[in-house]
Amino acid sequence: MNAPFQSTSATSDIDPRLPLQLLIAAPRGFCAGVDRAIEIVERALEKYGSPVYVRHEIVHNRYVVESLKAKGAVFVEELDEVPDDAPVVFSAHGVPKTVPAEAERRNMLYVDATCPLVSKVHRQAERQIEKGQHILFIGHEGHPEVIGTMGQVPEGRISLVETVADVAKLPFTQDDDLSYLTQTTLSVDDTRKIVEALEDRFPQIVGPKAEDICYATSNRQAAVKQIAPSCDLVLVIGAPNSSNSVRLVEVAQRMGTDARLIQRATDLEPEWLEGVGTIGLTAGASAPEQLVREVVDRLSEWRQVEETIVTTTEEKMVFKLPRQLTD
C-alpha cells in the first residue's frame, strides 16, 4: 500500500483561488453485483416491455431508482402490488424463500437480481442447517439483506448478532452445535471483533470457508483507510439506507477524520470547506460515477480543485446475467 498523501490543510480564511486537494478513492462506486442488478432491470424492460415491477429498491440509491423509473420500472414493496401477468424483479439484496414461493404459486414471471455473493451466503446457511447447526448471523436488524438471509432457514434456527455486547447475551453453551455467517456489507473491523467474541465464548463454532463480507465492501473500506489520514474531510456519496456507504463514513471517522454522507452534490454546503485544504472523496457500491463527477464539479465552483486518484486495488469482477434474459 502506498504511503499516505500529505494534507495541505488551510486556515479558515483561505483564499478561494487557492487549490483544494481532492483525493479520490479507487475503487469506489458500483460493484459487480450492482452493475448486474441494474442491467437485469434494463434487460427485462427491453425483453418484456414496460412496466417491469421491482420488489423494493433494486439497489439503495435514489438516483438509480429514479433513472429506472424513467425507463418504465415500477417499484413496489410487496408482490401483492404486482399483477399476476406482469414481470417482477427481486432486488440485489436477496429475498426470503417465501417471496419466490409466492411468485411461483401465482405463476408469475420473476427474475432474481440477488447479488451472487449474497446468494453464496444463502447456500451456506442451507448447508449449515442441513448439518444441524444453529446459525448466529452477524448483521444489522431490518436491513433487506438480513431479512433475506434469515428467511432462507426455518424459524428458530438462526439468531441475529449485531454487536460484541450481543454475544454475551446469547442463550447457548459450548455444547451447542453452532455456526456463524455475516451480512456482506459490514464494517470489516467491527465484524472481526464480533467473530473473535463468538470464537472466544463458543470455541466449537464453525465459520464459513471464506469471508462473507464482499470484496467490494472490503476494498472500499481499505481505500478510505488509505486516504483518510491525509484529509481534513472525507465525503462519501451514498444513501442513508446503504449499509456499505454508512460504513465508509464510520471508517473515516474512526481514523480521526471528519466525514459526511451525501446523496448528491446539492447536499454540499460551502462552509464545509472552511479551513479545509484536502478532501477525500469516495462512493458506496450503489452510487454511480456520474454522482462523483457531479460533486467534483460543485467543489470546482467554490475552489480550484486539484484531483488525485488514489488506487489501492483493481477490481475485475463480473457476474453473469440470469439465463432467462440472455437466451
Four-CA torsion 246, 248, 250, 255, nearest 10 degrees: -170
Four-CA torsion 296, 299, 305, 307, nearest 10 degrees: -30
Q: Write the single-letter amino acid at 155.
A: E
- Catalytic-role residue among 46, 77, 78, 145: 145
Mark 259-282 as b/e (b = at least 16 C-beta within 10 Å).
bebbbebeebeeebbeebbbbbbb
Mark 73-100 as b/e (b = at least 16 C-beta within 10 Å).
bebeeebeebeeeebbbbbbbbbbeebb
Cell output for 2: 502506498
Cβ–Cβ < 8 Å for 35, 56: no
Known catalytic residue at 145:
yes
The residues assigned a catalytic role are 145
